[in-house]
Amino acid sequence: MFDSLSDRLSGVFDKIRGRGALSEADVRDAMREVRVALLEADVALPVAREFVEQVTERAVGEEVVKSVTPGQMVVKIVNDALVELLGAENAELNLNVNPPAVIMVVGLQGSGKTTSTAKLAKRLKEKDRKKVLMASLDVARPAAQEQLAVLGRQAEVETLPIVAGQQPTDIAKRAVQSAKLQGYDVVILDTAGRLHVDDALMAEMKAVASAATPAETLLVVDSLTGQDAVNVAKGFSAEIDLTGVILTRMDGDARGGAALSMRKVTGKPIKFAGTGEALDALEPFHPDRVAGRILGMGDVVSLVEKAAETVKQEDAERLARKMEKGKFDLDDLALQIKQMQKMGGLGALAKMMPGMKGMKQATDIDDKALTRLEAMMSSMTSEERQKPKIINAKRKRRIANGSGTTVQEVNKLLKMHQQMEGAMKKLKKMGGFSKLASMFG
Ligand code: GDP
Ligand code: MG
């Protein structure tokens, strides 16, 4: 009787759905396995630890989909958290600057910078119809500039003519200058690497960055380097402003743990994945695929997805059956609201709809309104939810007090329900329920 609002809230929905919530013990048990999976996928230890902690917090109390075990449910939640983390930000290149847009490619020796430079150039030329110029700033290794020229011929992309004895910053300036004069859209600078992050390398990268003011600075990391990838990412992102990451050798047997480490350490999106030595083996990064590879529990994830789909269908069918009888009570309304919130609330829905992107403020308010609606309904007895007509003035005051709202708001809720119920009845007369049912859930 004196339990908290959130207890009562979840109580309402447990009753409706007949499902339990994940206990702390459920989550801890499953998380032990998740942790092993992350480490096996070469996620750096501190990154794995932090990630597990965050997801544990988030998972406790989540409701378990019917016909799924708590452990399976945790795996699904972890998978979703991984996808979200890996793909949280826009991974497109941002080349919206006065041309030429400069892309600076940085990383350790052998990580795949030169190859990725040529792949990216080819992609921009073929897919985005950009006029691209490449330049190698690697004066440390004798054949490095020639290597890029060879790849340029293969990709049919221009490279800056090689001038012996020039320093990296001078080459960078020359590249930008010629691109300006010759009307190139994009200049890609392939920089020198070292075996380890060191001061000399960072000084050179900073000098090039200030000479060329890149629109994008992409860190190239070999996905097979696993644990080391963290130190590389830390080293570079402490010194220069990275805008994204290219993860190479994703065609190998790496499970992709480096992706998670990169994301956590740099906070920058992974923009591309290298998937082979050929020049078209460069793909936009797919967070869902990589999350599946990291966890290695793809079958569990799809099992839970299927179960959730079934439950949604059952809910929709149950609602449809009620509607066939022209019945739509407040429990049904509560269920609808809950489902809406699960989809990310009105704000998230609005974002998906064209033309509504600018309405963030308005939709924020609406999300709060959804929470208040839920609170009001959880302050009602089940009899009141099933027979809203019995809600008299005295009951309204009690509901308002119990939910921290006002009688006016309770009235609004009842009116909204009446309107929906009316609409249902009209629809019933018109027939065609099965069609409509497929729109719910
Ligand atoms: P850099 O020293 O960073 O410029 O590295 P390179 O671009 O010269 O690449 C080193 C080696 O890795 C070359 O043999 C490339 O063909 C190979 N390589 C680069 N990216 C990939 C990739 O995504 N997959 C595979 N399998 N090999 C790659
Ligand atoms: Mg190179």
Ligand 2 midpoint to CA 274 (Å): 15
Report d(CA 150, CA 152) in Å as an integer.
5
Q: Is the CB of 379 under 6 A from ligand 1?
A: no
Ligand 1 pocket check for 193: Cβ under 6 Å = yes
pTM (2 d.p.): 0.70
Q: What is the pLDDT of residue 409?
A: 92
* Rounded average pLDDT over 1-15: 39
- Sorted by sequence, the CB contacts under 8 Å of residue 400 that are 6+ apart come out as 376, 406, 407, 409, 410
322 has binding-site annotation:
no
Enumerate the β-bridge partners of residue 103: 188, 216
At 29 the pLDDT is: 86
Tell me how far apart the alpha carbons of residues 425 and 418 are, in angstroms, rounded to a whole number: 10
Residues 131, 135, 139, CA angle at the centre, nearest 5°? 180
Identify the pLDDT of residue 4. 41
C-beta of residue 354 within 8 angstroms of C-beta of residue 376: no
State yes or no: 134 annotated in a binding site.
Answer: no
* Residue where the block lists tokens 């006029």: 131
Q: Is residue 191 marked as binding?
A: yes
SS3 of residue 104 by DSSP? strand
- Per-residue confidence at 343, pLDDT binned at 50, 70, 90? low
Predicted pLDDT of residue 340: 65
pLDDT digits (tens, 9 = 90+) for 369-384: 778 888 899 899 989 9
Beta strands in 122-181 (DSSP E): 132-136, 158-159
Q: For residue 136, which ligand has an atom nearest its CA?
A: 2
Q: Whose CA is nearest to atom 26 of ligand 1?
A: 276
Rg (CA), the chain: 28
As a whole number of angstroms, the distance between CA 288 and CA 305 comes to 13
Beta-carbon count within 10 A of 203 CB: 11
Instruction: Report DSSP state, residue 236.
Output: H
Distance CA 382, CA 8 (A): 12
Q: What angle separates helix 360-378 from helix 407-430, to the nearest 10 degrees?
A: 90
C-alpha torsion sign, points 163, 164, 170, 172: positive
Probe residue for ligand 1, chosen from 104, 105, 115 as the CB with the greatest number of ligand atoms within 8 Å: 115
Q: Which residues of 165-192 are buried (b: 16+ CB within 10 A; e: fewer)?
A: eeebbebbeebbebbeeeebbbbbbbbb
pLDDT at position 10 is 40
pLDDT at 200: 92
Provide the CATH number for the domain formed by 325-437 in this structure.
1.10.260.30
Element (H, E) at 327: none
Tell which wins on pLDDT, 30 or 428. 30
Contacts of residue 417, Cβ cutoff 8 Å, sequence gap at least 6:
328, 330, 333, 388
pLDDT at position 90: 65
- Selection from 343-347, 354-358, 404-408 with the highest mean pLDDT: 404-408
116 touches 220 (CB < 8 A) = yes
CB 73 within 8 A of CB 158: no
Q: 342: pLDDT confidence band, cut at 50, 70 and 90?
A: low
Confidence of residue 329 (pLDDT cuts 50, 70, 90): confident
Query: What is the model's pLDDT at position 428?
Result: 65
Q: What is the pLDDT of residues 243-280, one digit of tens each?
A: 999 999 999 877 888 899 999 889 999 999 999 999 99
State residue 122's pLDDT score.
Answer: 97
**Overall CATH class of domain 5-89:** mainly alpha
> Under 8 Å CB-to-CB from 90, ≥6 apart: which residues?
269
According to the model, what pLDDT value does residue 348 have? 55
Interval between CA 113 and ligand 2 midpoint (Å): 5
Q: How confident is the model at residue 33 (pLDDT cuts 50, 70, 90)?
A: confident
pLDDT digits (tens, 9 = 90+) for 162-186: 998 999 999 999 999 999 999 999 9
298 marked among binding-site residues: no
**Tens digit of pLDDT for each residue in 61-107?**
888 887 788 888 888 999 999 999 898 666 889 999 999 999 999 99
Domain regions of the chain by residue span: 5-89, 101-284, 325-437
Residue 159: what are its φ and ψ, rounded to 5°?
-120, 150
Q: Which CATH number fits domain 101-284: 3.30.420.40, 3.40.50.1970, 3.40.50.300, 3.30.70.870?
A: 3.40.50.300
